Amino acid sequence: MNNRFRYLCLICCVSCLLPTGCLRLPVKRSTTPVVVSSPLAQQLQELPETVVPVLVKQHGEDMVTVQVVLRGGPTTASPLPGLEALTLEAMLHCGSGGVAPAQWRQQLEQYGITLSTAVGPDYALLHLNCPERYWVRGWELMLEALFFPDFDKEAYQAFRDNYAAALQSRQQDPVFKAYQAGLTALFGKDHLYAIWPEGSYAAIAAMPLDSVVNCHGRLVSQRRLQLVVTGDVNPELVHSRVEEVFTDLKPGIRWPQPAELAWEEQRVVIDETVPKSLCTVTAFFPAPLPKATDAADYLLALEALSMRMQEDLCHQRYLACETFAEWVPWQVPFARVGFQSMHTYAAVKALIALLRKVRLEGFTEQEIATAHMHYLRQLYAQVQTSHGMASWLTAHYARGSLERILAMQDRLDLVTPESALKALNKYSSRIVWHYYGPPKQVNAKAFKMD
């Protein structure tokens, strides 16, 4: 089977996910459907005339996923970093609707229902996943947790201690520490994106119950709330359920928007606070918003660059390193390209030599075709389940970029090696280099691109 045939088969697989349908644009809340040709827009609609925005994707799986999305960064419901994440988790572990925590969790297990939470730089969410035949019961239990948590004092103290210990363990992970240090180097310590949404161990371990109760009172409002529902569901039933529950919500306040980033031509940040030999080197580039005409070109350029880095650094030079190159489409977007390795100096020189070569020579048609196929393969693997589809939709719907991301899918077929190189050179001319590792491995001169 040749590569072209595999490529066509993959496109057909994505195209056949769901029958034909339409997307109602989340920005303009009208009753007139606007057709978008991307396969991911099929059987996708924003329900008209609901009190809060509701996106429904009918999916042929026997599981239903509901994500209650709370738009805004980590300081939206409270100025204390981590309090919102703690409050969301406490809602699921400290009793609800007058039922003790153990008995309430037993109800979830009885029906095969999963309730969980997640927080990020642009939004937080409460996540329901359950069998289709029990989704109404799952909806009821989710609403109990959202609006009527008991916050039992003894249950809260036990939960908080366990939560803080798990948080401390996660934040000691070298990959996490390197990533967070990179965001701080890029945005500055006071930027919303440099404030980790889960907070610190010390702050969470000492968080009183009163703070959690007060945060819960400010958590849900009309301006913050969105719903994403995927699975074998009836949109009319979803509409009626939403209207009977969320009509009386307070409007709430606008959440703070992340500040734009002023990129310099080149800046190098050396962080030598890591005692171990493993280091992380990251080059941060500006990136286009999904609405940009060259967003598709940039996306495939990064995919092709990622594969070139893996081949050059790991397979040809035999450097023991893990490479990465990704576009981060937050409200203030950026790209991160780099590696983790024990061979610091050699890997830095190899990466810079590779970037120079790519900037001059560009990509081949085969590399762009392979990058396109790799992107579609990853996307298809994610959205083939109700849970994965909901997570992908939420990531873009919460940021107001879903329509643009779907439109960008249509432009991927038009990307050429020349357009990919043009987009990469346009944005990678300004770089923030970040070294996170042991001392005396490299200095700022090692990162010169000229």
Per cent of the chain over pLDDT 90 is 59
Q: What confidence tens digit (pLDDT) does each residue in 77-104 have?
A: 677 889 999 999 999 999 887 888 888 8
Q: What confidence tens digit (pLDDT) does each residue in 340-358 have?
A: 998 888 999 999 999 999 9
Confidence check: pLDDT of 8 > 60 = no
Query: Is the domain of 277 the same as that of 183?
Result: no
Number of structural domains (the chain) is 2
Per cent of the chain over pLDDT 70 is 91
Q: What band does 1 get if pLDDT is binned at 50, 70 and 90?
A: very low
Which of 186, 217, 246 is at the close of a domain?
A: 246
Which CATH number fits the domain that encloses residue 76? 3.30.830.10
Query: Is the domain of 300 the same as that of 429?
Result: yes
Per-residue model confidence (pLDDT) at position 9: 44
Q: Indicate whether 88 belongs to any domain.
A: yes
- pLDDT (mean) for 421-432: 94
Would you tell me how many other CB atoms lie within 10 Å of the CB of residue 120?
16
CB 105 within 8 A of CB 91: no
Query: Is the domain of 117 the same as that of 169?
Result: yes
Confidence check: pLDDT of 38 > 90 = no
Q: Indicate whether 410 belongs to any domain.
A: yes
Q: What band does 149 get if pLDDT is binned at 50, 70 and 90?
A: very high
* Mode of pairing for the β-strands spanning 431-436 and 279-286: antiparallel
Per-residue model confidence (pLDDT) at position 37: 53
- Residue 132 CB-density burial (10 A; 0-12 exposed, 13-18 middle, 19+ buried): middle
- pLDDT (mean) for 320-349: 92
Residue 56 tokens, joined: 């429904």
**E strand or H helix at 29:** none
d(CA 68, CA 58): 17
* Mode of pairing for the β-strands spanning 54-58 and 44-46: antiparallel
Per-residue model confidence (pLDDT) at position 390: 94
Cα end-to-end span (Å), the chain: 43
Q: Indicate whether 359 belongs to any domain.
A: yes
Q: What confidence tens digit (pLDDT) does each residue in 150-164 have?
A: 998 999 999 999 999
Query: Is the domain of 230 the same as that of 280?
Result: no
Query: Is the domain of 163 the same as that of 288?
Result: no
Q: Indicate whether 40 belongs to any domain.
A: no
Domain that holds residue 242: 50-246
Query: Is the domain of 232 the same as that of 273?
Result: no
Per-residue model confidence (pLDDT) at position 11: 37
Which of 188, 216, 246 is at the close of a domain?
A: 246
d(CA 37, CA 26): 16
Query: Is the domain of 124 the same as that of 217?
Result: yes
Which of 215, 246, 277 is at the close of a domain?
A: 246
Confidence check: pLDDT of 310 > 60 = yes
Q: What is the DSSP letter of 321?
A: E
List, in sequence order, every beta strand (DSSP E) within 19-62: 44-46, 54-58
In single-letter form, the type of residue at position 218 comes to R
Q: What confidence tens digit (pLDDT) does each residue in 272-301 have?
A: 988 777 899 999 999 999 989 999 999 999
Between 33-37, 240-244, 424-428, the lowest mean confidence (pLDDT) is in 33-37
Confidence check: pLDDT of 31 > 60 = no
Query: Is the domain of 84 the same as that of 178?
Result: yes
Per-residue model confidence (pLDDT) at position 39: 67
Query: Is the domain of 356 the same as that of 209?
Result: no
Q: Indicate whether 29 belongs to any domain.
A: no
Query: Is the domain of 292 the same as that of 424?
Result: yes
Per-residue model confidence (pLDDT) at position 256: 74
Query: Is the domain of 112 the same as that of 231?
Result: yes
Q: What is the mean pLDDT of the chain?
A: 86
Confidence check: pLDDT of 34 > 70 = no
Q: Indicate whether 1 belongs to any domain.
A: no
Q: Indicate whether 13 belongs to any domain.
A: no
Residue 350 — left, alpha, or beta (φ > 0 → left; ψ -120 to 50 → alpha)?
alpha
User: What is the pTM for the complete model shown?
Assistant: 0.86
Query: Is the domain of 413 the same as that of 270?
Result: yes
- For 380, residues 6+ apart whose C-beta sits below 8 A from its C-beta are 10, 13, 14, 17
Confidence check: pLDDT of 222 > 90 = no
Q: Indicate whether 422 belongs to any domain.
A: yes
